[in-house]
Structure 1
Amino acid sequence: MDFNINLPIYLQIADYVCDKIMLQLWLPDEKIPSIRELAIELEVTHNTVLRTFEHLQNKNIIYTKRGMGYFVEQNALSLLNSSKKEQFLKEELPSLFHKMNIIGFEIDELVTEFEKFKNKNKPDHEN
């Protein structure tokens, strides 16, 4: 994993875990990789992954079963969808709209390009 120097590594790993959940690669009540497994996979210390898991537990995204490991919370997907949408609306969309306005890029052009993107990036079972 390539890390961005402007964001703490544990938060970048949290985004990685959240992406897996949002893509439904890790399902509700399903066991996720252990701290050790994820640390090896991402080439970080297990303390960093532990910090990530503690952060995600505090956000009710994952939970632990003593002696069994970490699992995806039942409502993690809906929590993530609403928080990621809110973050996008507040942090990314204003910048996009600003750039669109400067270059004269109209909303209907954006819709067309987004539809092309969605069609090109459908999961294999939908193509």
Structure 2
Amino acid sequence: MMEFKSNKGIFQQIADSICERILLGELAPEDKVQSVRQLASQLGVNQNTIMRTFLELQHSNIVENRRGIGYFVTKDAPDTIREMRKEEFTKDILPGFLQQVKLLRITKTELEPLFNQLKENEDENK
């Protein structure tokens, strides 16, 4: 069962979780997503909450409803999610990060090994 936090609506947290699964490759483009009933039961939430999640994901072109069959991941979902998250990161997280770098007087030289480590991890996962 998912542990919900109070800073975001439950439907948004579920949508974030589905997006995370898509980015991790657990759900590939054209894969069928669990049904509303299955997901509601698994997460212990109301089916209306799951419907709201799917409507939000559908509105963002991350899933599509195939009438009578269910919801499926769109072919462009991974790219769409990355773009949305980059925008969110740039708007919501990066300014605070840069402010902390400035306040703590962290130099480019001090940050460089961290970015190099990210690059190494990225290369290993290819």
Which of the five TM-score ranges fits, normalised by the shorter chain? 0.7 to 0.9
Which whole-Å CA distance do the structure 2 matches of 1:85 and 1:16 have between them?
A: 16
Give CA deviations for 1:47-86 in whole Å, capped at 9, x if unaligned: 1111100111111110111221110011111111111111
Give the alignment's TM-score, normalised by structure 1. 0.87
Deviates more, 1:102-111 or 1:90-99: 102-111
Cα distance, 1:122 vs structure 2: 8.2
SS at 1:64 equivalent: strand
Give CA deviations for 1:64-113 in whole Å, capped at 9, x if unaligned: 11221110011111111111111101110010010111111123322312
Deviates more, 1:72-81 or 1:99-108: 99-108
The one-letter amino acid paired with 1:32 is V
Give the alignment's TM-score, normalised by structure 2. 0.87
Which whole-Å CA distance do the structure 2 matches of 1:111 and 1:93 have between them?
A: 17
SS at 1:2 equivalent: coil
Which whole-Å CA distance do the structure 2 matches of 1:107 and 1:39 have between them?
A: 46
SS at 2:26 equivalent: coil
Cα distance, 1:119 vs structure 2: 4.9
SS at 2:71 equivalent: strand
| Count of residue correspondences | 125
Q: 1:74–1:86: structure 2 CA closer, same or farther, 3 Å change rule?
A: same
Which whole-Å CA distance do the structure 1 matches of 2:111 and 2:19 have between them?
A: 26
Give CA deviations for 1:6-48 in whole Å, capped at 9, x if unaligned: 2111011111111111112111111111111211222211111
Which whole-Å CA distance do the structure 1 matches of 2:35 and 2:56 have between them?
A: 15
List gaps (5 residues or longer) in structure 2. Answer: none
Which whole-Å CA distance do the structure 2 matches of 1:68 and 1:109 have between them?
A: 52
The one-letter amino acid paired with 1:106 is T
SS at 2:86 equivalent: helix
Q: Specify the alignment match of 2:96 in structure 1.
A: 95
Q: Specify the alignment match of 2:79 in structure 1.
A: 78
The one-letter amino acid paired with 2:103 is I
Alignment of 1:1-127 (within 5 A): 1-116=2-117, 119=120, 126=125
